[in-house]
């Protein structure tokens, strides 16, 4: 069984991964508010406890999971360990004696409790000793209201604020100045500022290699020559070719040998990852992981579509769909500098065609926009169950690759 869920990263003030929120649905055909919240939570716990394993989905980071009052009273959070889960109390639950009793009990057992979409009311003061995190939707909450919350919790220094729906870098900076410790949203997936800059020699070398490997026939002599001009890139290639995932019996010691052994598909994947990883070392690692997830998902979906889109082209297109955020530059400007085939550039620039639709699909999954997800899958004639499997596979692969390339 696979989760019908998207995971959204929660970052700390240094833009390092702290946790994931799991945005669950019963299936791709059931979207909130059509599905009962109790049922959604119970099936999330069932899947995470008895099937896939929640740690596999979150890379051993804590998972923020929404709980209704009934699922809290029935003890569902305790089906997961206090290290695996952050118990997120839905904003629809009214503060009362029953909820307070549950919070006291969970707190005594070491569980972290968060209030979701918090709107300040004096009655919540009774809960503060047991609450660790207060989540505030900064799109729906004014700065004055945020300051009211900060004033209310001043005698409870253990409480930390989490800003939800942070969509721009400017919003992140504002929330940071207000004292928020954690941030959730897609601010890290957009350019922090628009600026023009030259690519570094290593980036240019990788761009040249991406171009060479996009040709129908690989020119090993030309590719080897480019690698030999960049010592760092050559080292990374040999390290990758010798990594445990390929299970080599003997060590790969030359550039040409590595190229032959890896082959065209694996070489394209390696170059794409290296370009993304080294493009901007100051960007959050979660952004690179998100780009990797997109790349692998696009590759897997393209493979299912019986050669309508080349697998390796799909991989690279998915990866480059976030290159503007990685380089902090407009997409048109970045792509103009890269010698890439039109079948990669066009879907990214025009947002039209089959490849563009696959990218839209993974974007909708990331945002848990399941109604739109269904429409795209119907258009592409994709099997919905298989798409869920591919998304989970892509997440797991990206987690593994980020450790390898990191």
Predicted local confidence at residue 25, as pLDDT? 56
Predicted local confidence at residue 115, as pLDDT? 97
- Pick the residue with more confidence: 125 or 284? 125
- Pick the residue with more confidence: 60 or 372? 372
Instruction: Let me know how many helices (H) and strands (E) the chain has, helices first.
Output: 18, 8
φ/ψ of residue 260, rounded to 5: -65, -45
What percentage of the chain carries pLDDT values higher than 90?
Answer: 36
pLDDT > 70? residue 55 = no
What is the band of 396 on the pLDDT scale with cuts at 50, 70, 90? confident
Burial-class residue 282 by CB neighbours within 10 Å (0-12, 13-18, 19+): exposed
Give whole-number Cα distances, 285 to 181, 211, 375, in Å.
18, 25, 31
Which range, 25-29, 68-72, 226-230, 338-342, is most confident?
A: 68-72
φ/ψ of residue 8, rounded to 5: -110, 125
What is the band of 195 on the pLDDT scale with cuts at 50, 70, 90? low
pLDDT > 60? residue 3 = no
- Pick the residue with more confidence: 269 or 87? 87
Q: What count of Cα atoms within 13 Å lies in the side-chain half-sphere of residue 257?
A: 11
Q: For residues 169 and 145, give the distance between their C-alpha atoms in angstroms, rounded to a whole number.
A: 21
The stretch 335-364 carries a mean pLDDT of 90
What is the band of 46 on the pLDDT scale with cuts at 50, 70, 90? low
Lookup: tokens for 41: 């939570």
Nearest to 34 by CA among 381, 371, 377, 384: 371
Nearest to 230 by CA among 267, 259, 255: 255
Predicted local confidence at residue 406, as pLDDT? 55
- Pick the residue with more confidence: 402 or 311? 311
Q: For residues 327 and 194, give the distance between their C-alpha atoms in angstroms, rounded to a whole number.
A: 10
Q: Are 328 and 196 in contact (CB under 8 A)?
A: no
Predicted local confidence at residue 267, as pLDDT? 83
> Which of 47-61, 132-146, 201-215, 343-357 has the least mean pLDDT?
47-61
The stretch 357-377 carries a mean pLDDT of 90
The stretch 107-118 carries a mean pLDDT of 97
Q: Are 161 and 149 in contact (CB under 8 A)?
A: yes
Look over the chain and give the mean of its residue pLDDT values, rounded to a whole number: 83
52-59, Cβ contacts within 8 angstroms, sequence gap of 24 or more:
52/1, 52/2, 52/3, 52/392, 54/22, 54/80, 54/84, 54/85, 55/84, 56/396, 57/3, 57/5, 57/7, 57/20, 57/22, 57/392, 57/395, 58/7, 58/19, 58/20, 58/22, 58/84, 59/20, 59/399
The stretch 97-118 carries a mean pLDDT of 97
Cα dihedral across residues 120, 124, 128, 133: positive or negative: negative
Q: For residues 46 and 62, give the distance between their C-alpha atoms in angstroms, rounded to a whole number.
A: 17
φ/ψ of residue 167, rounded to 5: -105, -15
Predicted local confidence at residue 31, as pLDDT? 38
All structural domains of the chain, each given as residue ranges with its CATH number in brackets, are: 5-189 (3.20.20.450), 201-405 (1.10.3210.10)
Lookup: tokens for 348: 């990214």
Lookup: tokens for 18: 């702290």
The stretch 93-98 carries a mean pLDDT of 93
Q: For residues 394 and 406, give the distance between their C-alpha atoms in angstroms, rounded to a whole number.
A: 17
Q: For residues 298 and 361, give the distance between their C-alpha atoms in angstroms, rounded to a whole number.
A: 9
Other Cβ atoms within 10 Å of 116 Cβ, number = 21
> Which of 37-41, 51-55, 177-181, 199-203 has the least mean pLDDT?
37-41
Tens of pLDDT along 22-43? 876 554 443 333 445 555 555 5
What is the band of 394 on the pLDDT scale with cuts at 50, 70, 90? very high
Predicted local confidence at residue 133, as pLDDT? 98
The stretch 242-258 carries a mean pLDDT of 75
Predicted local confidence at residue 359, as pLDDT? 96
The stretch 237-260 carries a mean pLDDT of 77
């Amino acid at each position: 069984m696979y989760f019908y869920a998207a995971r959204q990263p929660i970052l700390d003030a240094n833009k390092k991964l702290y946790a994931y929120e799991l945005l669950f649905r019963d299936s791709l055909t059931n979207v909130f508010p059509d599905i009962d919240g109790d049922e959604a939570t119970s099936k999330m716990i069932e899947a995470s406890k008895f099937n896939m394993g929640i740690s596999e989905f979150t890379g051993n980071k804590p998972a923020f999971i929404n709980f209704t009052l009934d699922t809290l009273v029935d003890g569902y959070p305790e089906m997961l360990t206090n290290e695996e889960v952050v118990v997120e109390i839905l904003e629809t639950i009214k503060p009362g004696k029953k909820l307070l009793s549950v919070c006291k009990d969970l707190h005594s057992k070491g569980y972290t409790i968060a209030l979701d979409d918090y709107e300040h009311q004096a009655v919540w003061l009774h809960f503060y000793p047991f609450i660790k995190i207060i989540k505030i939707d900064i799109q729906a909450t004014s700065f004055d209201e945020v300051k009211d919350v900060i004033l209310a919790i001043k005698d409870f220094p253990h409480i930390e604020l989490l800003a939800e729906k942070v969509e721009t870098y400017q919003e992140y900076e504002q929330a940071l100045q207000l004292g928020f410790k954690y941030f959730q949203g897609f601010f890290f997936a957009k350019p922090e500022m628009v600026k023009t800059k030259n690519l570094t020699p290593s980036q240019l070398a990788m761009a040249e290699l991406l171009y060479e490997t996009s040709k129908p026939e690989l020119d090993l002599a030309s590719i080897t020559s480019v690698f030999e001009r960049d010592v760092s890139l050559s080292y990374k290639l040999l390290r990758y070719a010798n990594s445990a995932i390929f299970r080599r019996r003997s060590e790969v010691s030359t550039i040409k040998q590595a190229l032959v052994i890896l082959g065209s598909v694996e070489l394209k994947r390696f170059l794409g990852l290296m370009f993304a990883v080294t493009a901007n070392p100051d960007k959050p690692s979660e952004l690179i992981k998100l780009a990797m997830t997109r790349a692998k998902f696009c590759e897997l979906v393209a493979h299912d579509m019986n050669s309508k889109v080349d697998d390796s082209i799909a991989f690279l297109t998915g990866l480059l769909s976030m290159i503007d955020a990685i380089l902090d530059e407009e997409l048109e400007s970045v792509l103009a500098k890269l010698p890439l085939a039109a079948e990669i550039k066009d879907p990214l620039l025009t947002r039209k065609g089959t490849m563009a639709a696959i990218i839209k699909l993974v974007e909708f999954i990331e945002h848990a926009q399941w109604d739109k997800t269904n429409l795209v899958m119907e258009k592409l004639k994709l099997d919905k169950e298989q798409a869920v499997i591919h998304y989970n596979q892509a997440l797991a692969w990206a987690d593994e690759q980020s450790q390898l390339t990191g």
